[in-house]
Each structure stands twice: as C-alpha cells, then as structure tokens.
Structure 1
Amino acid sequence: MQASLATEPGGLAPNEDWAAASPSLAVVLDGLSTGGLDTGCSHGVPWYVAQLGGRIIAELSGSGIALTEGLARALEQVAMLHAECDLSNPGTPSATVSILREGPASLDFLILADSPVVFEGEDGYTVHTDLRVDSVVPELRAETELYATGSPEHQAAVQRMITAQRLTRNAPGGYWVAASGPEAAEHAVVGVASRDAVSAAAVMSDGVSRLVTEYGMATWADVFKMLRDGGPTSLIRYVREVEATDPVGQRWPRYKAGDDAAVIFCQQ
C-alpha cells in the first residue's frame, strides 16, 4: 500500500503523538496527557510513544504473527527499558494504539482506545474505534466542560478527571491503553477487512478525528477528499483553522485548545 503521513503538536509542548508506516504497516500512537500529575517515571510520554512505536513496527514488519501478539511483545520490551521506574504507578506513561496491516487478500486492524481506523469503500465509510474511555467518570468529564479551555479552573477540573480516570485505566470495568503490561493487548479491538472492499484507509489520533466526531465540521467523505487533494498535512492544517475559531472551548469544550494530531493515509 502507498502511505503518506503527518503529525504535529497541538501547541508549544512536545508532540505526544507518533506515526510511522512501512510498505505493509501503518501505526499511530496517541500519548495520554499527564495533566502535570506524577507518573512515577523519569521518562516523558514522547519517549514512551517513540520506544513503543518503533518496537511495534519491528515486531510486525515481515511477520505473520497476530497484531495482539506483536503489541504484547513490544509492550514487554518497552517495560524492560525503564524497569527502574515505578511502572505500577497508575499514571505511568501510556498511549492509544492503532495498527493497520496489509496482507495478500485482507487488511488487519487493531485499536486500543480512541484513535480510529476508517475504511473507504463502495458502500461508504466504516469507522472502527474503541470508546470505552467515554464511559468512565462522566460527571468529572462534564465538569471540565464548564470552564474556558486553559483557565485555572479548567486545568484543575482536568486534573481531577485524569486522577479519577487513572484508577479505571487497564482495570476491569474501565478502559484499556498501552502502558506497562502486555495484557492490555488482549483487550484491543481487532478485525479484518477484505482488500477488495477497501479503496483507501486512514489511521489517526483523535486530534484529527474530532473534526468529524466532535466538531462536526466535516464528513468522512470530506476528510478523504482533503487527504487525496492535499495530503495529511493539509488535513491537520484545516483542523487547526477550525480550532482557532474557538480558542477557549466555548463552542467545542475540550481539554486543550489544540490537541496533538497524527494521521496516515493509505491507498492501494
């Protein structure tokens, strides 16, 4: 498959998204914000996503192993790289994971948390994602929407929400992300699509998908047209233009004025 990609930070802080592609793989990671809270780790989220992403590519390139097995192996390897850190801390660096792999007759995908894989076909657009995080601590999520994005009150509300979310992260009844243990891989959403039924695919972080799902400023058809006409960079640029019209989250309440964004556009 032919793949083009782009990723950029949402502000002045280092980019916590990560994206890479090979002739048969597309991988997007979205590092979870720490909200300034303790992680028990001397490494930052950008380090974590770079280490994990590289190992996912290494495990799955030229390999026929299941996507879940490749992710589990990569998680184990990264945990060994910073075993001196407190990996039991509920805020240990973590990330969403989305993987698309091309085979001779099929497209395999894996999704852990809310970075979607979207297929374009003759019948329209099929979105695969994992929204379990939306079901935890809804009252604290709603509280963050009461304040202007970036205000002291908003930052405090986001910290309260993240603190509570961490207690449900990678736990029964909560939601699952890539963190310190390989067991998270077994909780990923996985599936297979026929290559003949897919004309193009996009793998992205929610910093991009929110243009459709939260802002409602584009359809998936619009997104794929932008990807074809101007590539991933132009799509992210449009997301930023939309966000700039609502810098304090009055129209679209959110945790940051601009979130890190990553997208890989795949065509056969």
Structure 2
Amino acid sequence: MRVSIATAPGGSNPNEDWVAATPTLAVVLDGLSTVGLDTGCRHGVPWYVSQLGGHLMAALVESGRPLTDGLAEALERVAALHPECDLGNPGTPSATVSILRAGDDRFDYLVLADSPIVFEQADRYQVVTDLRVDAMVPELRAETERFATGTPEHTEALRRMVVAQRLTRNTVDGYWVAASNGEAAHHALTGAMPLAGVRSVAVLSDGTSRLVTEYRTASWADAFAMLRGSGTDGLIAEVRRIEATDPNGHRWPRFKSGDDATVAFCQLP
C-alpha cells in the first residue's frame, strides 16, 4: 500500500503524537497530556511516544506476528529503558495506539484507546475505535466542558478530571492505554478486515478525527475526499481552520483549543 503521513502540534508545546509507516504497516500514537501533574518520570511524553513507536515498528517487522504480542514486547522494552523512574505512578507517560498492517489478503488492526482506524469501502465507512475512557468520571468531564478553553476555571477542572481518570487507567473496570506494562496490549481492540472491497484506510489521532466525530463539520466521505484532494496536511489544515472559528470552545467544548493532530492515509494499488 502507499502511505502518506502528517502530524502537527496543537499549539506551542511539543507534539505528543507520533506516526510512522512502511508499505505494509502504519502506526499512530497519541501521547496523553499530563496537564502539569506529576508523572514519576523525568523523560516526558514526547520521549515516551518516540521510544514506544520505534520499538513497536521493530517488534512488528515479522509480518505474521500477532499485533498484541508486538505491542506487549514494545511496552516492556520501553519500560526497561527507564527503570529509575516511578513506573507505578498512575500518571506515568502513556499513549493511545493504533496499528494497521496489510497482508496478502487482509488487514490486521489494533486499537488501544480513542485514536480511530477508518476503513473506506465502496458503500460505507467502518470505524474502529475504543471509547471506554468516555465512560469514566462523566460528571467531571461535564464540569470541564462548562468553562471556556484556557481559562483558569477550565484548567483547574481539567486537572481534577485527569487526576480522577488516572485512578481508572489500566484497571479492569476502567480504560486501557499503552503505559509501562505489557498487559495493556491484551486489552486492545483487534481484528481483521478483508482487503477485497477496501479502497483506502485512515489511521488517525483524535486530534484529527474530531473534525468528523466532535465538530461534525465534515462526514467521513468529506474527510477522505480531502485526503485525496489536498493530502494529509490538507486534512489537518481543515481541522485547524475549523478550530480557529471557536478558539474558546464555546461551540465545541474541549480540553484544548487545538490538539496535536496526526494521520496516516493508506491507499491500495
């Protein structure tokens, strides 16, 4: 397959997304924001996603290996890189993971948390995403969305929400992300899709997918038309254009005025 990639930070802070691809593999990671809270780690989220991404690509060189096994190995290898850090801290650097791998007659996919993979077929769009986090602390999420983005009240409400979410992260009754334990890999959504009938696939961080899923200013058909017409950079530019019309989050309440945005657009010959 032919893969085009793009990623862009949501503001002045370093980009905490990560993307890479080969002719048979596309990986998108979205680092979870720490909102200034203690993580027990001196390295930070950008370091974590770059290390996890590199080890994940290396672990999946073997085309027949289960994606969960590759992710579990990558998580353990990254944890071994910084044993001096407090990897048991509930806020240890973490990320969503989305993996697409093309085989002879099918795609294998893995989605851990809310960075979706979208399959474009002749008559529909099939979205694979993991929204378990949305069920966590809904009352604190609602409180955060009451305030204009970037205000002191919004910042404090967001901090309280993240503190509470962390207590449910990587627990049986909570939600799962890539962090310091390979166990998380086995809680990902996985499956296979026949190559036949698939026109293209988009692997996205939620900073890009929100154009369709949250802002609802475009359909998936529109998004794929943009990818073909103006490319991956063009799709992200459209996200930024829409966000600029609502910088304070009045129309679309959100945690950041602009989130890091990433896409890998996979086209079949």
Q: Which TM bucket (shorter chain)?
A: over 0.9
Is 1:113 equivalent to 2:113 in the alignment?
yes
Q: 1:82, 1:203 → 2: CA distance?
A: 29
Is 1:225 equivalent to 2:233 in the alignment?
no
Match of 1:206 in 2: 206
Alignment size in residue pairs: 268
Match of 1:68 in 2: 68
Q: 1:253, 1:225 → 2: CA distance?
A: 27
Unaligned ranges ≥5, structure 1: none
The amino acid of 1:207's aligned partner reads G
TM-score w.r.t. length of structure 1: 0.99
Match of 2:169 in 1: 169
Q: 1:250, 1:240 → 2: CA distance?
A: 16
The amino acid of 1:239's aligned partner reads V
Secondary structure of residue in 2 paired with 1:199: strand
1:162: how far off? 0.2
Unaligned ranges ≥5, structure 2: none
Contact 1:24 1:61 in 2 (8 A): no
Match of 2:50 in 1: 50
1:123: how far off? 2.3
Q: 1:119, 1:17 → 2: CA distance?
A: 21
Secondary structure of residue in 2 paired with 1:196: coil
Match of 1:19 in 2: 19
State the Cα RMSD in Å: 0.5
Percent identical among aligned pairs is: 66
Q: Which runs of 4+ in 1 moved over 3 A?
A: none
Q: 1:25, 1:258 → 2: CA distance?
A: 28
1:172: how far off? 1.2
The 5-angstrom pairing of residues 6-155 of structure 1 reads 6-155=6-155
The 5-angstrom pairing of residues 234-245 of structure 1 reads 234-245=234-245
The amino acid of 1:54's aligned partner reads G
Per-residue CA deviation, residues 104-160 of structure 1 (Å, 9 max, x unaligned), is 000000000000000001121000000000000000000001111000000000000
Match of 2:216 in 1: 216
